[in-house]
Amino acid sequence: MQSDFYAYSFKNKWLDNYSKPQGLLIVDTIKVPYTLEKDLFDNRKAPKSEDVGFVSGGSSLNGTIWYPDNSKGNPL
């Protein structure tokens, strides 16, 4: 690959029964090894939220209240 300023090159191989690629990114003369791993989302780690709505004088306002883990009882 070529941009206006740099030349990019990728060399990849698969690891662990094709579950994650490992390779080398080369930008001009700089070589950076990498491994891509999938991070599974865990709903237990997601902050708790509550959708709310208010109507006043014919206007409505909707939003979300987020409850962080270390809130000391105060939502955001």
Q: Is the pLDDT of residue 17 over 60?
A: yes
In the predicted model, is pLDDT for residue 72 greater than 80? no
29 vs 41 pLDDT, higher one = 29
Q: Does the pLDDT at position 52 exceed 90?
A: yes
Q: What is the mean pLDDT of residues 36-52?
A: 81
Q: What is the mean pLDDT of residues 45-69?
A: 87
For 74, phi then psi, to 5°, come to: -110, 120
Q: Model's pTM, two decimal places? A: 0.42
- 75 pLDDT band, cuts 50/70/90, is low
Residue in the structure block whose two tokens are 């690891």: 15
Provide the b/e sequence for 11-32 (b: ≥16 CB within 10 Å).
eeeeeeeeeeeebeeeeeeeee
How far apart (Å, rounded) are the C-alpha atoms in residues 76 and 70? 11
